[in-house]
Amino acid sequence: MITIGNAPNGLNINDGYGATDPAALQRSVLREKADLGVALDGDGDRLMLVDHTGAILDGDDILFMIMSGQDEPVKGIVGTVMSNMGLENYCHKQGIAFHRTPVGDRFVMEKLMEEGLSYGAEPSGHILCLDRHTTGDGIIAALQVLSVMVKRKVGLNALKQGFIRYPQELVNVKLARKIKSLDDEAVKNAITEAEAALGDNGRVLIRLSGTEPLIRIMVEGRDAVQVKQLVQSLEDVVQTAYGANA
């Protein structure tokens, strides 16, 4: 095992390493020709994985691999509004209930307990395995994935086969002023038009950040070109209505 980013000085938490910045891990996996890389954040509750090709596997991938690697069928899992639609569609095809919550691992936890389920995650890397622990823990989540690899005798890349991720675009618009809601009529109309264009093959999510003066815009769908066009159009409308650079 090769360890990187393990020289804390009290000031460099998450600085250039770990789940919030896995680029160094990607380079290290490729340089060392490693089978995989494991990235935790500073307090160890977030996890990202890197496969042998240097590709990042996020919380959606990890949740899929843990869920699909169980010996007994999983009756349901919990994601958030940011979870990829491809994961939801996979669950529906397999007869697995898929529940969405607002962003935040505490909401995922609440829903898991409410539904009596074990597995939930945020794409950002908060993974909950309530059959193993009472809170999110990156090390425990990583061990669950490794155990599936050993059981199936396959590499990390093979474990995510079957999860067809929808193209997704995410942009942020910096706010010019503090607002409580997205009540601009042009923005509302743009959202309605984008949703109509996507139909059942995609979705639009525009929300105020809970931690920064930003509006987050997410569009996902089957057609990558359409997704990119729609997110750019929405960004322009939101920027005109609320943006700091309007």
AA letter at 167 = P
Strands 127-129, 119-121: pairing kind? antiparallel
| 156-201 pLDDT, tens digit each | 999 988 899 999 999 999 998 888 888 899 999 999 999 999 999 9
Structure tokens at 36: 């995989």
Domain(s) labelled CATH 3.30.310.50 in the chain stretch across 168-242
Number of residues that this document lists for the chain: 246
The CATH fold of domain 57-159: Alpha-D-Glucose-1,6-Bisphosphate; Chain A, domain 3 (3.40.120)
15 contacts 6 by C-beta, under 8 angstroms: no
206 contacts 216 by C-beta, under 8 angstroms: yes
- 232 CB-near residues (< 8 Å, 6+ apart): none
- Looking at residue 180, its pLDDT comes to 84
174 contacts 67 by C-beta, under 8 angstroms: no
Q: Indicate whether 245 pLDDT > 90.
A: no
Q: Indicate whether 137 pLDDT > 80.
A: yes
Q: Indicate whether 243 pLDDT > 90.
A: no
The pLDDT of 122-149, averaged and rounded, is 95
120 contacts 108 by C-beta, under 8 angstroms: yes
Report how far residue 174's alpha carbon sits from residue 23's, in angstroms, rounded to the nearest whole number.
Answer: 25
Phi–psi pair at 245, nearest 5 degrees: -100, 15
% of the chain beyond a pLDDT of 90 = 80
pTM over 0.95? The answer is no
The pLDDT of 86-106, averaged and rounded, is 95
Domain(s) labelled CATH 3.40.120.10 in the chain stretch across 57-159
Note the CATH architecture for domain 168-242.
2-Layer Sandwich (3.30)
4 contacts 28 by C-beta, under 8 angstroms: yes
Report how far residue 198's alpha carbon sits from residue 221's, in angstroms, rounded to the nearest whole number.
Answer: 7
pLDDT band at 244 (very low <50, low <70, confident <90, very high): confident
Q: Indicate whether 246 pLDDT > 80.
A: no
pLDDT band at 8 (very low <50, low <70, confident <90, very high): confident
Which H/E stretch holds residue 5? none
- Looking at residue 197, its pLDDT comes to 96
Helices vs strands, H then E, count in the chain: 8, 10
